Structure 1
Amino acid sequence: MLQERSGQNWLLKYKLHHIPFWCLYHYLWSVVALGNPLKAANSIFFSPYTVQFVFYVIFQAFAVYFNLYFLIPRYLEKSRFPRYITYLLATILCAALLIVSGYYLSSFTSGKSLEALYGKGHDCFNYFFSYSLPSTMASMTFAMSIKLTKKWIQTKRRQQLLEKEKLETELTFLKNQFNPHFLFNTINSIFFLIHKNPHKASASLAKFSELLRYQLYECNDKQIPLSNEIAYLENFIELEKLRLNKNLEVSLQIEQQYTKHLGIAPFILMTFVENAFKHVSKHTNEPNWITINLYMDQQQLNFSITNSTSTYKANDVVRYGGIGLQNVQRRLELIYPGQYTLQVQRNKTSFDVKLQMDLAELVILENISQTA
């Protein structure tokens, strides 16, 4: 019903700025035909041919918009092809015939005969129709090409917006999957320390508040400074070391030079660190260890983390991935396509992760500082 109304009221969609467009369109055809812009202008605006030119502009524009806003929505888009072709041919024919009448009206208004205006042998109906019909068909084809191109661009942009929205929704979902998991583990750790060592529990609670503040207020952007992510990792590691037994040795080597101007997606590195602490071995007669290395090679981040593991823990860490390794790997594919390499290797006594990724400069901070 709405589509039929829009078809019936198609004249309302005709905009005034289209009139000069069609005038320019026909003027350019006159320039091509006569080979001289000034001569074309004189023949159109300062001669008896003005009426003929107006007929071309008005009736071809009428045919074009009748096709675009009535025939196409009502018949072509509803797959009524025979009716559409029939009405389209009738529209072209009517427009061409009406344009032919402009030749006769030009002769009448100027007081000259058709032979005087158009030359001997060029004063017949067939001659005029042989010009108006191809010209009308060309105008219709040209207008439909513009309309289809515009519609294709709009559809393409709509698809890109939908894909972008879907991507952002998926990234948000994957990121939010991690946060509740981390909070649940940390609260359990503090609860355990309250009964075992209240002093360590107090220190853990202070670290936990810093981490919580980071999650709530500093990680809402798509990218954060790499230095903030590193500070977050260090706080998390200190929190884990407070609650774990002394049989665990943690080696942390981080090169923080030239990291403030680089950005990284939040919690990319954090998942690997939490995964290592969760699945590190719990040997009583053998050493348990975690080794973390991070250094920069210009704008390339090189991150490696290795943890000791027993046989059953090594199998468990491979299966663990719904919120951990599979999560971060999916985020890397979405955010850094073709810009990272990730190697995950399980040995008999260790679990190794190596990540190399190209980081870009953090433009967000510059924009904020400029608007401040």
Structure 2
Amino acid sequence: MFAKCHLYQNSHQRSYAYQLASVLGTLVCILSPIIVFKFYRIHRKQTDAALLFNQMQLNSLKGQLNPHFLFNTFNTLYGISLEFPDRTPDLIMKVSQLMRYQLESNSKQCVSLEDELEFINSYVQLEKERVGYRCDITFESKVDKDYTYKISPMLLIAFIENAFKHGTCAIENCFVKIDITVENGLLKLHVTNSIPKKNDVISTKIGLKNTIERLNLIYGKDYKLDINDDKETYVVDLEIQLKKFL
């Protein structure tokens, strides 16, 4: 009889343990998705906030860059009009095309690489009109057959503007050389310009500073930028991995 009572207690205890385990297992099954979903919402909210903040920063940097580009472009146009007043009407038309591209691309996160290269080429041609008669200016671009790459608008122009601003202020032995290649989506920008012995150009470096901040926001550490100044030449090497339009 005692053996039966002992057996009954063990069975009874096992029944309670089984029920407790079942309840705990059910709670885990119910609460786990809720907890995971809650953490996902918190993480998503933090990510969205970070993305929004980055976009606000990018828009702010773009807003600072555009007036800077406008000022430099009109300064170039003014210099040409003094030297060659009869060519001013055609040059005004070219400048208006640059301004149109700038305004249209300002609201876009990305533009096609082909459009961006055309914009850069137009800017280089404008500078050739200004100082091409006394400065060695070359611009070469080589892109693989796939032109479906995209790039943040006006991301490269600051490096090119800077080269013309400082590389063409001397009368003798000045040069600006620009080379852009894209292979398997890897864009390489190589810009070299002369540095005059006497440089009276005052630079705020706003364009370069803003562009570097944009590169940090867009690519983080996934880009390479080397700037070398040996007091005779100024060299910029930039590498970024482009994405394709889907």
Same fold (TM over 0.5): yes
* In 2, Cα distance between equivalents of 1:357 and 1:158: 29
Matches within 5 A, 1:199-348: 199-218=86-105, 220-244=107-131, 246-258=133-145, 260-284=147-171, 286-311=172-197, 313=199, 320-321=204-205, 323-348=206-231
- 8 Å contact 1:309–1:350 — kept in the other structure? yes
Structure with the higher fraction of residues in helix conformation: 1
Residues 149, 312 of structure 1: alpha-carbon distance in 2 compared, 3 angstrom cutoff: farther
**1:147-198 deviations in Å (ceiling 9; x for gaps):** 3322111101101111111121122222222111111222233345445533
- CA drift at 1:358: 2.0
User: Structure 1: any 5+ residue segments left out of the alignment?
Assistant: 1-119, 364-372
Residues 152, 309 of structure 1: alpha-carbon distance in 2 compared, 3 angstrom cutoff: same
- CA drift at 1:132: 6.3
* In 1, Cα distance between equivalents of 2:97 and 2:69: 14
Aligned partner of residue 178 in structure 1, secondary structure: helix
Aligned partner of residue 169 in structure 2, secondary structure: coil
- CA drift at 1:205: 0.5
Aligned partner of residue 354 in structure 1, secondary structure: strand
Residues 315, 340 of structure 1: alpha-carbon distance in 2 compared, 3 angstrom cutoff: farther
Query: For residue 179 of structure 2, what is the amino acid of its counterpart?
Result: N
* In 1, Cα distance between equivalents of 2:36 and 2:144: 51
Residues 134, 199 of structure 1: alpha-carbon distance in 2 compared, 3 angstrom cutoff: same
- 8 Å contact 2:112–2:151 — kept in the other structure? yes
* In 2, Cα distance between equivalents of 1:213 and 1:129: 78
Aligned partner of residue 268 in structure 1, secondary structure: coil
* In 2, Cα distance between equivalents of 1:338 and 1:178: 22
User: Structure 2: any 5+ residue segments left out of the alignment?
Assistant: 1-6
* In 2, Cα distance between equivalents of 1:167 and 1:312: 40
Could you state the TM-score of these two structures normalised by the residue count of structure 2? 0.81
| 2:245 pairs with 1:362 | yes
Match of 2:47 among 148, 160, 175: 160
* In 1, Cα distance between equivalents of 2:227 and 2:161: 15
**1:331-353 deviations in Å (ceiling 9; x for gaps):** 22222344422110001211000
- 8 Å contact 2:174–2:196 — kept in the other structure? no
Q: RCO higher in 1 or 2 (8 Å CA, sep ≥ 6)?
A: 2
- CA drift at 1:236: 0.6
**1:95-118 deviations in Å (ceiling 9; x for gaps):** xxxxxxxxxxxxxxxxxxxxxxxx
Query: For residue 188 of structure 1, what is the amino acid of its counterpart?
Result: N
Which position in structure 1 is the counterpart of 2:72?
Answer: 185
Superposed CA RMSD in Å reads 3.0
Structure whose alpha-carbon radius of gyration is higher:
1
- 8 Å contact 1:344–1:354 — kept in the other structure? yes
Residues 141, 297 of structure 1: alpha-carbon distance in 2 compared, 3 angstrom cutoff: closer
Matches within 5 A, 1:76-115: none
Q: Percent identity?
A: 27
Residues 294, 126 of structure 1: alpha-carbon distance in 2 compared, 3 angstrom cutoff: closer
Structure with the higher fraction of residues in strand conformation: 2
Residues 185, 142 of structure 1: alpha-carbon distance in 2 compared, 3 angstrom cutoff: same
Residues 218, 133 of structure 1: alpha-carbon distance in 2 compared, 3 angstrom cutoff: closer
